[in-house]
A and B are shown apart, each in its own frame.
Chain A
Amino acid sequence: MNDSIVSFLSEFAIYKAFVASVSAKIGFDATSLLTFVVFFIAVLLVVNVMALIGGLGTYAERKISADLQARQGPNRVGPYGILQFLADGVKMITKEDIIPRMSDKFLFIVAPLLCMVGVFATLAVLPFASGLMLTDLNIGVFYMLGVSSLVGVGIFLGGYASNSKWSMLGGMRGAAQIISYEIPVTLSILAIVVLSGGLSMKTLVEGQLGVPWGWNIFHNPFTFIGFFVFFIGALAESNRAPFDLPEAESELVSGYHTEYTGMRFAFFALAEYVEVFVLCGLAAALFLGGYLVPFNLGKGLPLLEQFLQLGSFVTKTLLLYYVVIWVRWTLPRLRVDQLMTLCWKYLTPIALFNLIGCSFWMYFFEGKSLWVLLFKSGAKVAAGHH
């Protein structure tokens, strides 16, 4: 029920032999110790890879925006400017650290920390592959929703603690926006939970099939709309354009991080880019079949299977990531009242309707997908003619 990377590894004889040999050497049962060590190494790996993806995200953003606007984009540091994010990092770390005199110093320091902790803690349940996920908590998606709301607290505190009018306005807008859009996102997730019958990521992903007509997005008309509600809500939750009102540079200078310099600012930016990846990954896992590979290719060969699953998940997530960047450089920013109208008068009622629709679908059609039902009725008609 509760799978993790350790329980995946312990299916291999070589890991068991390793545990036994270590136990023999140190004289007591090394299972717990090695569990900790494996988790620690896996966490370090995931954190480093995600920090790299966050860095490359800033590069991708600039390069794709340049492409969309027929410009060059960064092209000086490294081949095609791909090392730009490292140069930016070095620049950020050598910047003078300024904490405004009038600010609330403690909260000013804590705010970026909350953003980083909130975002990185969600990585624990992100399903990269059936074995290569850090841990498969039985409350997976609920945990993810809960922990990711730390980001909202971080953004509001960042705005509040700076004691600058721009930051305060950005922080207030950010808090209002993030909490509002959490409602349609939660309701869309609930509709999928109803169909899958569980909260753990594995249950949610493996209730689908690897082929596109087995994905939740094409399960029935309600989930099809639900995907778009979820994706729009996710865009707003991660403060991405067209919903980047908390940091609207043409109105609020830089919004909630106006007063932040150097590394402290970099943490907000890194948290944002990693959060976009996590939300795209969640969208891929819930609606687009997650790590499942068409026709279960590679079944029986654990390593190849994991590799293909990882590829499947990362491909879907990065495609969604591209869409997020594409949307940012295509659509103009919304006004605050339009933002609230979109959330409360359009997305929330639609999400409620979807949830009711999915519940009825579950009850009357036993959660079978539209294609299964069509195929069955078609077969029945064909049988009746004979």
Chain B
Amino acid sequence: MSSYNLDVYMPVAILMIVAALLVVGALLVGHFIRPHNPTKLKYDAYECGEAPEGSAWSHFNIRFYVVGLIFIIFDVESALMFPVAAVFKKMNEIGRGGLVLVEILIFLSVLISGIAYCWRKGDLDWVKSYQAPKE
């Protein structure tokens, strides 16, 4: 346990490099055999055959930000849950499982109250109704 060997991470690095080389290599091989006849129209963005109208980089709907925000809260919380979940079994075996259970419940109660709040506020609806919630 104590002698931690970093060798086991070697395949991760090799895999990433091989995958990148696969992409670069296939494009390089293609470079020598594929045709290259540039015309102006080919390099336009596709817009159902019409000339493209303006840029696509404009405003987009704020609901994507809301989804992003809810995601970040949940993802950070669940990332922090992993160490607690991983030691649960061992702690249970030495009789300290209750501690971990309470910890998990505190964590999840924060998450659940968060999602309940979002739900009540209507942020989980894709099309948000802007009427005030009923009293």
Contact = CB atoms under 8 A, between A and B. Distances in A.
Interface in B89-127: 89-90, 92, 97-98, 101, 104-105, 108, 111-112, 115, 118-119, 124-127
Contacts of B29: 93
A345 B126 contact: no
B43 interface: yes
B100 to A, nearest CB: 8
A183 B114 CA distance: 14
Interface residues of B, number: 72
Interface stretch (A166-174, A281-289, A292-300, A303-311): A166-174
B33 interface: yes
Nearest to B68: A179
A39 B10 contact: yes
Contact of B55 (A5, A102, A197): A102
Contact of B19 (A121, A190, A259): A121
Nearest to A253: B46
A362 interface: yes
B56 A124 contact: no
Interface in B41-77: 42-48, 52, 55-57, 60, 64, 67-68, 70-71, 74-75
Given A166-B46, A190-B81, A267 B23 contact: yes
A6 B11 CA distance: 11
B108 A356 contact: yes
Contacts of A259: 45-46
A52 to B, nearest CB: 13
B36 interface: yes
Interface string B7-18: 111111011101
A120 B16 contact: yes
B35 interface: yes
A219 to B, nearest CB: 13
* Size class of the A contact interface (CB-based, 8 Å): 35 or more
B7 A35 contact: yes
A40 interface: yes
A164 B46 contact: yes
A359 B11 contact: no
B132 interface: no
Contacts of B20: 113, 116-117
Contact of B7 (A4, A47, A119, A349): A4
Contacts, number: 228
Contacts of A267: 23, 26
B105 A359 contact: yes
A172 B85 CA distance: 33
A340 B67 contact: yes
Contacts of B7: 4, 6, 32, 35
B130 interface: no
A187 B111 CA distance: 12
B115 A163 contact: no
22 contacts: A4-B8, A6-B7, A93-B34, A101-B43, A102-B44, A116-B20, A121-B15, A163-B57, A164-B45, A164-B47, A168-B57, A172-B64, A176-B64, A179-B68, A179-B71, A197-B88, A198-B86, A340-B124, A340-B125, A356-B105, A362-B101, A367-B92
Contacts of B126: 336-337, 340-341
Nearest to A113: B23
Q: Which 9 A-B pairs have the closest CB atoms?
A: A197-B89, A337-B126, A120-B19, A164-B45, A101-B43, A134-B11, A168-B56, A179-B71, A193-B85
A198 B83 CA distance: 9
B133 interface: no
B115 A344 contact: yes
Nearest to B4: A2
Interface in A73-127: 93-103, 112-113, 116-117, 119-121, 123-124
B11 A345 contact: no
Given A43-B15, A166-B46, A194 B115 contact: no
A95 to B, nearest CB: 6
A366 interface: yes
B37 interface: yes
Contacts of B19: 47, 116-117, 119-121
A2 B71 CA distance: 32
Contacts of B71: 179-180, 182-183
